Amino acid sequence: MTEGHETRPALAGKGPIVTQVAVIGAGITGITTAYKLALQGLDVTVFDRNAFSAMETSFANGGQLSASNAEVWNNPATFIKGIKWMLRKDAPLLVHPAPSWHKISWMAEFVLAARSYEENTVATVKLAIAARRHLIEMAERENIDFDLEKRGILHVYETKAEFDNALRVNELYRKGGLERRILDDREIHEIEPAIAGRFHGGFFTESDFTGDIHKYTRRLAEACERRGVAIRYEADVTKLEKRDAGRVAVFSRRMGTDVPPAREEFDAVVVCAGVASRRFAAQLGDRVNIYPVKGYSVTVNLDDEASRVGAPYVSLLDDKAKIVTSRLGENRLRIAGTAEFAGENRDIRMARIKPLVDWCRYRFPGVSTASIVPWAGLRPMMPDMLPRVGRGNAAGVYYNTGHGHLGWTLCAITADTIAAEVAGDFAAPGVAVQGELKPVDAVRADAERITEAA
Ligand SMILES: Cc1cc2nc3c(=O)[nH]c(=O)nc-3n(C[C@H](O)[C@H](O)[C@H](O)COP(=O)(O)OP(=O)(O)OC[C@H]3O[C@@H](n4cnc5c(N)ncnc54)[C@H](O)[C@@H]3O)c2cc1C
């Protein structure tokens, strides 16, 4: 079946006729997809241009597994805030003025998606709740240590206006099945004694948790390999192509070389390529309008005892600053935030890092910021903020991508969904209806099914 590479032997004990699936991308969505496909008994090959898994957006994110951050951003109130923020240099949102057709078309669709703000928020909450069990199950089965902290997530609001708005969002979360406690200032300080400041109110979501996405993905990638998945690191995928008889060709070459790309054919391909998924989708005849929305994080090394005591263990979302935190083990505090519309640009700008460090010094004065590791990553964001999970137009083409600000939270359930769909299609060939990539409906239907089953 291959050209340019040797044909791999079929999985041990599976016999020669096993469906061969390529997964493009070894971030959190690609690796969870590969793992779930392997559990379905399929023969999986993952391609990634980096030397390790989780080296791009899944490297140093906010760490939150947060149904309590499931609100989609297509809310008229957020649009107004966004316009005000555009006038402030240190604001959590920055839109670079240089126009591009991609940015304009994405923004237009983003505004139009405000019509589905409520139902998309409720659908996302349901998915986030359903994802938890799968994520923990994979970690337990494979014995993965990823600095899991099951201490809940605390949302804090300084003003009555912010808190009143949060009460409205909380109603949607309740519709989605998420239970949260409403708190006053005293209770906030009881739950997280290290935090400084006075708050009008807050919410505590005890069932949410945090962990290190990079550690999780790396360890799960190793588990995939133990289960027979082939991972091709440093393989730059240059093109995906539909072939006859429902097969799909992957063209790739080793990073840093300019040899002609080798072609390999598969029964199916699942595109999980983060912000590159849009380009691959176009090659396969699909439109997946992902925009790279840049965010930043700093990892504060808690090198001394005073910093370790002064840093929070409970995860936070500070609504005004739009900043989240996660304690990663005893010695690290992750602080993340900001949304920047600047195209596919991964530069770390110190002007965007400074507000994160200043916030840490203000909210957690006991923490020394002498040793920090700055990072920037690109959220693969769809205009309606729902991931694309399902079949493409051509036979054998599938997507699990576009998870935006919630890829860590949602990946485990969308991976399970897509793996079941691929396995089901090949177990009963001819039943699959291609061109079913109606993600909003698919994701909503999935959320309904999950809630009914619960
Ligand atoms: C600052 C920040 C904070 C965040 N905080 C949170 C949070 O607290 N909770 C949460 O749930 N989510 C959070 N997110 C979102 C989450 O991190 C992302 O949704 C998730 O990591 C996306 O994973 P992915 O697999 O889709 O993309 P990626 O991790 O980027 O993986 C895509 C992979 O495709 C590979 N690839 C691309 N092109 C090619 C090619 N041509 N050839 C070969 N390989 C290719 C890349 O090398 C990469 O490894 C945050 C994001 C940011 C930026």
Domain containing residue 342: 74-100+146-209+291-381
Could you tell me if 46 and 33 are in contact, meaning their C-beta atoms sit under 8 angstroms apart?
Answer: no
* pLDDT averaged per 10 residues in sequence order, the chain, 454 residues: 35 59 98 97 97 98 98 85 71 78 93 95 97 97 98 97 95 97 98 97 98 98 98 98 91 95 97 98 97 97 98 96 96 96 92 96 98 98 97 96 98 97 82 49 56 49
Residue 258: inside a domain: no
**DSSP assignment letter at 68:** G
Mutate to test the pocket of ligand 1, among 56, 239, 338 (most ligand atoms within 8 A of CB): 56
pLDDT at 196: 97
- Residue carrying structure tokens 């291959």: 2
Mutate to test the pocket of ligand 1, among 32, 58, 132, 280 (most ligand atoms within 8 A of CB): 58
Residue 190: inside a domain: yes
Axis-axis angle for helices 213-226, 28-39 (nearest 10): 30
In angstroms, the Cα distances linking 39 to 141, 230, 246 are 12, 14, 23
Which pair of structure tokens corresponds to residue 372?
A: 């920090």
| AA identity, residue 172 | L
Report which ligand 1 atom has the smallest distance to the Cα of 210. 8
Strand order in the sheet with 43-47: 230-232, 43-47, 20-24, 268-271, 397-401, 388-391
pLDDT at 99: 80
Residues near ligand 1 with C-beta < 6 Å? 25-30, 47-50, 55-58, 61-64, 66, 236-237, 272-274, 276, 295-297, 324, 336, 377, 379-380, 401, 403-409
pLDDT at 442: 54
In angstroms, the Cα distances linking 271 to 12, 22, 31, 277, 310 are 26, 8, 11, 6, 42
Q: How far is the CA of 382 from the centre of ligand 1 (A)?
A: 13
Could you tell me if 229 and 46 are in contact, meaning their C-beta atoms sit under 8 angstroms apart?
Answer: yes
82 alpha-carbon distance from chain centroid: 22
239 alpha-carbon distance from chain centroid: 24
Domain count, the chain: 1
Residue 330: inside a domain: yes
- Report the alpha-carbon distance of residue 195 to residue 185 in Å, rounded: 11
Q: How far is the CA of 85 from the centre of ligand 1 (A)?
A: 25
Contacts of 134 (CB under 8 A, 6+ apart): 412, 413, 415, 416
CATH number, domain at 354?
Answer: 3.30.9.10
Residue 238: inside a domain: no
- Report the alpha-carbon distance of residue 170 to residue 201 in Å, rounded: 13
Strand order in the sheet with 235-242: 235-242, 248-254, 262-266
Could you tell me if 270 and 399 are in contact, meaning their C-beta atoms sit under 8 angstroms apart?
Answer: yes
- Report the alpha-carbon distance of residue 61 to residue 58 in Å, rounded: 7
Question: Which residues of 79-218 form beta strands (DSSP E)?
Answer: 93-95, 153-157, 181-183, 201-205, 209-210
pLDDT at 229: 98
Burial tier of 129 (Cβ tally within 10 Å: 0-12, 13-18, 19+): buried
Per-residue pLDDT tens for 62-74? 999 999 999 999 9
Q: How far is the CA of 380 from the centre of ligand 1 (A)?
A: 7
pLDDT at 448: 59
Report which ligand 1 atom has the smallest distance to the Cα of 337. 1
Q: How far is the CA of 46 from the centre of ligand 1 (A)?
A: 15
Residue 218: inside a domain: no
Residue 68: inside a domain: no
- Report the alpha-carbon distance of residue 321 to residue 92 in Å, rounded: 7
Residue 340: inside a domain: yes
Report which ligand 1 atom has the smallest distance to the Cα of 296. 1
Residue 55: inside a domain: no
